[in-house]
Structure 1
């Protein structure tokens, strides 16, 4: 995780980052969203798609309408249904008449503290894209790449005309993705990382943070980082049975206190995956190696 760049940030501005891609930053910065959610408008004037419309915020919706500039909207596309990604899909659909396309609905109750933005229980899709299905418009094709793990309904979208991949929260250059059990699944997340590593996308555009111009290198490093964390957990449990909080204290030296919950959820996701593989077990809230 890295420190956000100094202000001012381009919040609300339509940035032309490629001939087919405009980017608009939402006003929702936080320790988990970096400088805010980045909404992408894909198209060159004859008709566009809006990816990850973001929070239902009046200023952000006005900025999106300005970025669209009266261009027909063919689809409003959501990578997943966390509250910092999908709620603006509904008012934007009402204003533009565009269908909501992309990930499947998911409303999941999680007991205890959450580290992410939480789920959007009111999300509905007019069309759910399966892995490999595409949404097309004038001069652009966005193909769904199923990447469960961060959440079970997560999709990335590949822009075939430019080699760009919109990665939502699955891969970000500024931070590893938070995997929150029980819907978030570390085993699925690792398999999805492996899938992306096999692809040859030119550049990643995540929903938070800067573009990733060496995607395979980053993904390879992320896989290595997760394996390192897994090995660290196994080593610490090999020394003595421990609770999640004790593992976090040993594993994350100098951690920003605001991120302690996220670290605990990540460790829990690793432990659940290790348990499924028969490598660890638990008695109450205490984990040990098998």
Structure 2
């Protein structure tokens, strides 16, 4: 657990919750923001008892109020369903409206759901949180920017180690790269990632992710030049020779497919009967 604290008792606390997420990560970050009078929770982790245990321990240790607001960066099973463990807080849960149905399914039977959009301001403990609609990893991904602290809570747009997977059905590589370039325009001292430790060199990390994605795109083009035509499975097997665990092959393939969709939309690649090739 790592907290940023101001003299007035305002905290931003990263609470890593053990979750069955994708390697190399073994925890998902939740963030507590506020003071003894009011606080907000960003993301609720996985639906398991230790989610509530770990969060309430962090609340006690830092003298925070029980959150009555939970903002979900996105609906994925390691970020949203932990709401079910927190129902006795009687929270109002927020997500982006594009993820209404998926979020309702993720947190059911809890149904106190409201929505946040680009540019909304959420006050807490005399500080303002600025809501960013930051699609790419999911269509309704929310990021939370705290201007007074120059801190960005990036959901799965940024992870501390490696890069996030991006892919169908609701991920979009073009949106993702646009989002990353937009995040670079913020004034930042730290990024709170969806997984892993605080990112203390925010611009370097964003550039690393952008460069990794562009490297993969160029790699796909080169492979299609050399092999003429390949399936997404064949491309993934060549590109990702060393995966941390076989269980992540599916999301690696979906990331490959997200790159291919982007290249098709840009007119560089053709799809014919499951085979991809470069356009002449």
Same fold (TM over 0.5): yes
Q: Distance in 1 between matches of 2:180 and 2:166?
A: 13
Q: Cα deviations across residues 86-108 of structure 1 (Å, max 9, x unaligned)? A: 1122442x312221123333446
Match of 1:217 in 2: 204
Q: Does residue 1:65 correspond to 2:52, yes or no?
A: no
Q: Does residue 1:263 correspond to 2:229, yes or no?
A: no
Q: Distance in 2 between matches of 1:125 and 1:198?
A: 34
Q: Distance in 1 between matches of 2:253 and 2:107?
A: 24
Residue correspondences, number: 266
Q: CA shift at 1:191, angstroms? A: 0.7
Match of 1:89 in 2: 83
Q: Which has the higher helix share?
A: 2
Q: Call closer, same or farther: CA 1:146–1:124 in 2, change over 3 Å.
A: farther
Deviates more, 1:20-29 or 1:77-86: 20-29
Contact (CA 8 Å) 2:47, 2:85: kept in 1 or not? yes
Match of 1:177 in 2: 164
Q: Any stretches of 5+ residues in structure 2 without a counterpart?
A: none
Q: How does 1:152-191 map to 2 (within 5 A)?
A: 152-191=139-178
2:233 to 245, 251, 274: 245
Q: Distance in 1 between matches of 2:154 and 2:75?
A: 14
Q: Distance in 2 between matches of 1:245 and 1:214?
A: 35
Contact (CA 8 Å) 1:74, 1:137: kept in 2 or not? no
Contact (CA 8 Å) 1:103, 1:155: kept in 2 or not? yes
Match of 2:114 in 1: 127
Q: CA shift at 1:262, angstroms? A: 2.0
- State the superposition RMSD in angstroms: 2.1
Match of 1:111 in 2: none
Q: Call closer, same or farther: CA 1:231–1:74 in 2, change over 3 Å.
A: same
Q: CA shift at 1:66, angstroms? A: 3.0
Deviates more, 1:271-280 or 1:253-262: 253-262
Deviates more, 1:260-269 or 1:98-107: 98-107
Q: Call closer, same or farther: CA 1:286–1:214 in 2, change over 3 Å.
A: same
Q: Distance in 2 between matches of 1:89 and 1:135?
A: 19
Contact (CA 8 Å) 1:106, 1:153: kept in 2 or not? no
Q: How does 1:1-290 map to 2 (within 5 A)?
A: 15-19=2-6, 20-32=11-23, 34-69=25-60, 71-92=65-86, 94-104=87-97, 105-107=99-101, 120=106, 122=108, 124=111, 126-239=113-226, 240-256=228-244, 257-290=246-279
List structure 1 runs of 4+ shifted beyond 4 angstroms: none
Q: CA shift at 1:174, angstroms? A: 0.5
Q: Distance in 1 between matches of 2:29 and 2:139?
A: 21
Q: CA shift at 1:166, angstroms? A: 0.6
Q: Distance in 1 between matches of 2:25 and 2:209?
A: 18
Q: Any stretches of 5+ residues in structure 1 without a counterpart?
A: 1-13, 109-118
Contact (CA 8 Å) 2:158, 2:194: kept in 1 or not? no
Match of 1:115 in 2: none
Contact (CA 8 Å) 1:103, 1:125: kept in 2 or not? no
Q: Call closer, same or farther: CA 1:214–1:31 in 2, change over 3 Å.
A: same
Q: CA shift at 1:62, angstroms? A: 2.3
Q: Distance in 2 between matches of 1:171 and 1:220?
A: 11
Where 1:261 maps in the other structure, the secondary structure is: helix
Contact (CA 8 Å) 2:81, 2:107: kept in 1 or not? no
